Structure 1
Amino acid sequence: MMLSELSPVAQAALPVQAFKDHLRLGTGFADDGAEDALAEAYLRAALAAIEGRIGKAILTRDFRLELSDWRDDWAQALPVAPVSAIVSVALRDDAGAVETVDAGRYALERDAHRPRLKAVGSYLPGVPAGGTVEVVFTAGFGSAWADVPPDLAQAIFLLAAEYHEHRHDTERRQAIPLGIAALIERWRNVRVLGGGAA
């Protein structure tokens, strides 16, 4: 299995100024924008860390899941939530030829933690021997920062502030602080059965 992010989070979607206000950085200086790139980098790092911990896409973007075969013949769990749409499903044979699967053969089963691509009618299309199947889907809570659940938005700000505070401390190797872990706990996806159909 290989998961790729097709469209990165847009710079305009990140609340750089709000984060700088959260840090209480000084204003009114000639170099007011000098910290913008650094603030954006910390926000992106915190966003990635929180997303990795909870298995959710915070801001909406497209992903591609590449598989050598389906986990089950009638449904395939998707590794990121919440999924709003299946963009396409394509089969690639061992020679590289691509066949797009008719959208009437599959449907999205929405779930807060483990959405699935389901077969419609019978089974999901067979993956060619030596080939792959590629599922492109859209996942995220929304395209604007206002769409992010407040507890997750706060967790990202707090973690980004931790990165900012300890930016020169190369010896500091700490897991996500307990206060931040408490904020994201309800969003975590606890997988059972080795990541199977559960």
Structure 2
Amino acid sequence: MILTEVAAVPATALPVRAFAGHLRLGTGFADDGSQDVVLELYLRAAMAAIEARLGRVLLARSFVWTVERWREDTSQALPVAPVRLIESVMLADAEGNETAVDALAWSLLRDAQRPRLVGRFGRNLPRIPRGGSATVRLVAGFGAVWDEVPGDLQQAVFLLAAHYYEIRAEAGTPAGWIPFGVLALIEAYRATRIGGMS
């Protein structure tokens, strides 16, 4: 299973100025935006860390997901949430020849924790050819703009990005360490996973 982000979140969608305010950076004549590149870097890093921990996408963007077999005949859990749209489902044979699956053969079962691709009308999902794969193009995320991201997740991103900003010149912080305040804010969004990608 391979999940690929098609395009990164555009810089214009990132709350750089709001994050600068969170850090209480000075404004006025000295505020020439010279810190914006650094602030954007830490915002992106914080978003990526939180998204990876939760399996949730904060700002909407496109993904391509490839699998070699469905976990179940009638449905397949998707690797991220919330899924806003499934654009297409393609099947490839062992030689790499692709065929588009009719949109009437499948549908998106929306769920805050585990959205699923399901066969329509109780039918099975299209069979993946032996030695082949299925490719699902989807759009996931809470929204296209920062204001559509839940407030507690916005705050978690700011706290984690501020942590990265403050320790940028220090060594010794364990890799992947996340401050307790961030963990407390994101806990309600953690999916309970039993048996992997079921």
Do the structures match in fold with TM over 0.5?
Answer: yes
Corresponding residue SS for 1:104 = helix
Match for 1:51: what amino acid? E
RMSD between superposed Cα atoms in Å:
1.2
Does the CA-based 8 Å contact 2:94-2:131 persist in structure 1?
yes
The residue number in structure 2 matching 1:45 is: 45
String of CA shifts for 1:157-194, please: whole Å, max 9, x gaps: 00000000000012222621111100000001120123
The 2-side partners of 1:83 and 1:115 are apart by 7
**Could you say which residue in structure 2 is the equivalent of 1:172?**
173
Runs of 5+ unmatched residues, structure 2: none
TM-score (normalizing by structure 2):
0.95
Which amino acid is the alignment partner of residue 8 of structure 2?
A: P
Q: After TM superposition, which residue ranges in structure 1, 4 or more long, deviate above 6 angstroms?
A: none
Identity of aligned residues (%): 52
Q: In structure 1, what is the equivalent of residue 26 of structure 2?
A: 26
Q: TM-score, with normalisation over the residues of structure 1?
A: 0.95
Distance, in Å, in 1 between the alignment partners of 2:130 and 2:154 is 44
Within the alignment, does 1:163 sit opposite 2:164 as a pair? yes
Instruction: Report the equivalent of 1:113.
Output: 113
Where do 1:1-198 residues align within 5 Å? Answer: 1-30=1-30, 32-121=32-121, 122-173=123-174, 175-196=177-198
Q: What amino acid sits opposite 1:108 in the alignment? A: L
Deviations 1:2-54 (A, max 9, x none): 11111211111100011011111122345621101000000000000011111
Aligned length: 196
What SS is found at the alignment partner of 1:180? Answer: helix
